[in-house]
Amino acid sequence: MSESVLTNTRYGKDLVRVFRVVRDGEFHQVVEYNVSVLLEGDIETSYTVADNSVVVATDSMKNITYYLAKISPHILSPERFALHLGTHIVSRYAHIHRAFITLERLRWSRIALGANDHPHPHSFIRDGNDRQTVEVEVDASAGKDKLSAKVTSGITDLLVLKSGGSAFHGFIHDEYTTLREVDDRVLSTSVDLTYTFAPLSLISPTDDKKLDFIVPEGFALGGVWDAVNVATRVRTATLDIFALDSSASVQATLFKMGQRVIAENAGVASVTYKLPNKHYIPVDMKYIGVDNTTPANAEVFVPVSAPSGLISATISRK
């Protein structure tokens, strides 16, 4: 027993599902989040000597999440809501020094009706399985009056495919090579990306209940970290480059995506893409005397679920 030591502790509530409607008269806005709240602090004794007096119950973390979803004016912005939640928790509990708030925003887009695409005031559609992601770390370890935060946002599971405009040749040919060079192929990936904002300092709440939250400079609408607009631009840039690039490889297309994200978003310090290459293999129909394998005649493909390539890179501001 004496040869072991507790070196790291973090605990909390995962998969807190919460939906919020914000009513502006007839006009509603909605968000649905999956939230994870993890805490670090002076909690070692809960592990080593079963001392629950230092434990904020994970059930309470769930309740705090629901309460903040009810009262936070920042609920519609995943970044600002996560910062508000983390700031409240580290300010409210003296022995909790860091809060790690992770949040996924599910898509609920407003339904557009009729020939004019008339936006419906309170009806929404799940128009994609991709989720916006936010990871926030609120750090009070330098003191409750010196809060700082790191914010990383992203997109996960954005599934795309192009049936032209993608080639792959010039790669190493040796005794292990069976892949053919192609001028044209099906390219599909499920985009996973994260982008990081510069670290920021936060103003500590001054009210008794520690519920006040002042949006950090830059994170308000129109600021360099205006997360709503950054998220929209990053998604648009990724889809634009995917569609428009005459792809020489996943690597080369990925780099162009990253360059555009950095160029268009002054507040973004770096962006990391993880792109699986989801292979679509032309079916060999020689058995029936049909050419389905030369690129011009390849029309029937087998989508291969495994293995896939996996291409990743981080593009940073110089």
Ligand X SMILES: O=c1[nH]c(=O)c2[nH]c(=O)[nH]c2[nH]1
Q: Which of residues 303 and 309 has its CB atom nearest to ligand X in the complex?
A: 309
Residue of 93, 100, 168, 273 that binds ligand X (CB under 6 A): 168
Residue 256 among the catalytic residues = no
State yes or no: residue 94 binds ligand X (CB under 6 A): no
Contact segment (CB under 6 A) with ligand X among 113-121, 153-161, 192-200, 245-253 equals 245-253
Q: Which of 13, 62, 88, 97 is catalytic?
A: 13
Neighbouring-strand partners of residue 13 = 37
Q: Could you say which of 9, 58, 156, 293 is catalytic?
A: 58
HSE, side-chain direction, 13 A CA sphere, residue 197? 28
Residue 164 as a binder of ligand X (CB under 6 A): the answer is no
The answer to whether 129 is annotated as binding is: no
Q: Is 304 near ligand X (CB under 6 A)? A: no
Site string for ligand X, 113-132 (x = CB under 6 A): --------------------
- Helix (H) or strand (E) holding 117, with range, is none
177 catalytic residue (yes or no): no
Q: Where does the chain have alpha helices with state H?
A: 44-48, 58-71, 78-92, 227-244, 250-264
Q: Is the dihedral of CA 249, 252, 254, 257 positive or negative?
A: negative
Q: Cis peptide leading into 307, omega within 30 of 0?
A: yes
Q: Crossing angle for the helix pair 78-92 and 58-71, nearest 10 degrees?
A: 130
Is 132 one of the annotated binding-site residues? no
DSSP secondary structure letters along 175-226: TT--PPPBSS--EEEEEEEEEEEPPEEEPPP-STTS---PPPTT-STTSTT-
Number of residues located near ligand X, criterion CB under 6 A: 7
By CB under 6 A, residue 195 contacts ligand X: no
To ligand X, the closest distance from the beta carbon of 189 in angstroms equals: 10
Shortest CB 188 distance to ligand X, Å: 11
State which amino acid sits at residue 267: G
Looking at beta carbons only, is 43 or 191 nearer to ligand X?
Answer: 191
Cβ 133 to ligand X shortest distance, Å: 25
* Nearest CB to ligand X, comparing residues 169 and 317: 169
Among candidate residues 58, 68, 133, 134, the one with its CA nearest the CA of residue 96: 58
User: CA-CA distance, 194 to 34, in Å (whole number)?
Assistant: 17
Instruction: Say whether 7 is catalytic.
Output: no
The DSSP letter of residue 168 is B
The residues, any chain, with a CB within 8 Å of residue 150's CB and separated by 6 or more, are 136, 137, 139, 196, 197, 199, 200
Q: Is 130 annotated as a binding residue?
A: no
- Binding of ligand X at residue 83 (CB under 6 A)? no
Q: Is 179 in the site for ligand X (CB under 6 A)?
A: yes
Question: Which residues make up the interface to ligand X (CB under 6 A)?
Answer: 168, 179, 249-251, 277, 309
Which residues are annotated as part of the binding site?
A: 58-59, 168, 185, 250-251, 277
Which residues are annotated as part of the binding site for 5-hydroxyisourate?
A: 168, 185, 250-251, 277
Instruction: Give the active site residues.
Output: 13, 58, 279
